[in-house]
Amino acid sequence: MKIAIAGFGNIGRIYARSIVKLNLTERKNVMILARSEQSKRTALDDGFECIHESPALIADAEIVVIAVKPQDFSVLASFLKQFLKEDQIIVSLMAGITIQQIKENLAHSKIIRAMPNSPIALGMGMTGFCSSSDVMSKELRKAEQLLSTTGRTLYIDDEKKMDAVTAVSGSGPAYFYFFVKSMIESAEKLGFESSVAALLVKQTMLGAFHVWNSSEDDLDKLISTVASKGGTTQEALKVFEQRGFASTIESGLKKAEERGRELSGELNKH
């Protein structure tokens, strides 16, 4: 299967490398459309075929991945659309650009819109994706195989929910880092050196994640296994509850979703 990737920045590079690493196709079948000399050089150094001098080769690709910044899309689209064939699958990784906007700009109907998150770099990403009605189930499976080379995927049947995907899994890694940072800083205030505080927190997060991941118990049960009545954990949890920790998280995610909708509205005006 031939795959073309337009845009060889952080995300384009991760997908190109993951596709080959996971044997979705051979390196020689991955074509890169890059812009700057530096991106072209990186693509060539990685052993990929660069097609900026022969962009018509895009027509050979079964899947065309769009990995440019949303604000660069219209310029790319006006160039790209002349080379596309009707049966090709377009996989957009651009935040906020709707299926309708992609359809109009590319004059193309088979569109997958995906929202990955940053752990895709380690093959541990979470990607929500949706599709235009013209994408057949066989084509959807192919696109899903491609997206799965960077981690887990989830099909979202209503495109409107993509802003919620962004708010939960797209932004999620930053929420985790924020929580971890607060815990490390609190541990320092309890008298630990920063490296020791970081070790205590990092290993605790890792261990707790794996307990949750391998347990059949729900989270309330897992909390109760640590927080015995009248004990230390319960005191901390009481403070979290009194200060509205859970509702703060809820409000944050809601705001993120709203902002996603706003940004998407602005991007899709043009």
Ligand X SMILES: NC(=O)c1ccc[n+]([C@@H]2O[C@H](COP(=O)([O-])OP(=O)(O)OC[C@H]3O[C@@H](n4cnc5c(N)ncnc54)[C@H](OP(=O)(O)O)[C@@H]3O)[C@@H](O)[C@H]2O)c1
**Residues found near ligand X in the complex (CB under 6 A):** 6-12, 33-36, 39, 67-70, 72, 75-76, 93-95, 115-116, 118, 170
Cβ contacts of residue 145 below 8 Å, gap of 6+? 24
Which one, 102 or 201, has the nearer CB to ligand X? 102
- Report, in Å, the least distance between residue 154 CB and ligand X: 14
Least distance to ligand X from the beta carbon of 114, Å? 8
CB of 142 to ligand X, least distance (A): 20
76 contacts 66 by C-beta, under 8 angstroms:
yes
Residue 199 bridge partners (DSSP)? none
- Nearest to 66, CA basis, from 111, 125, 24, 117: 111
* 73/187 with CB nearer ligand X: 73
Q: Alpha-carbon torsion 108, 22, 161, 263, what sign?
A: negative
d(CA 7, CA 237): 46
Tokens representing residue 103 in the block? 């359809």
Of 6 and 30, which has the nearer Cβ to ligand X? Answer: 6
CA distance 147 to 125: 9
Q: For residues 29 and 172, which CB has a smaller minimum distance to ligand X in the complex?
A: 172
Q: How far is the CB of 138 from ligand X (least distance, A)?
A: 26
Among all residues, whose Cβ is closest to ligand X?
A: 9
Q: Identify which of residues 9 and 123 has a Cβ nearer to ligand X in the complex.
A: 9
Q: Least distance to ligand X from the beta carbon of 29, Å?
A: 19
The CB-of-265 to ligand X minimum distance in angstroms stands at: 15
Nearer to ligand X, 43 or 187 (CB): 43
Helix/strand/coil (H, E, C) string of 171-211?
A: CHHHHHHHHHHHHHHHHHHCCCCHHHHHHHHHHHHHHHHHH
- 211 Cβ neighbours under 8 A, 6+ residues apart: 222
Closer CB to ligand X, 69 or 238, in the complex: 69
Cβ contacts of 35 within 8 Å, gap of 6 or more: 7, 52
Q: How far is the CB of 110 from ligand X (least distance, A)?
A: 19
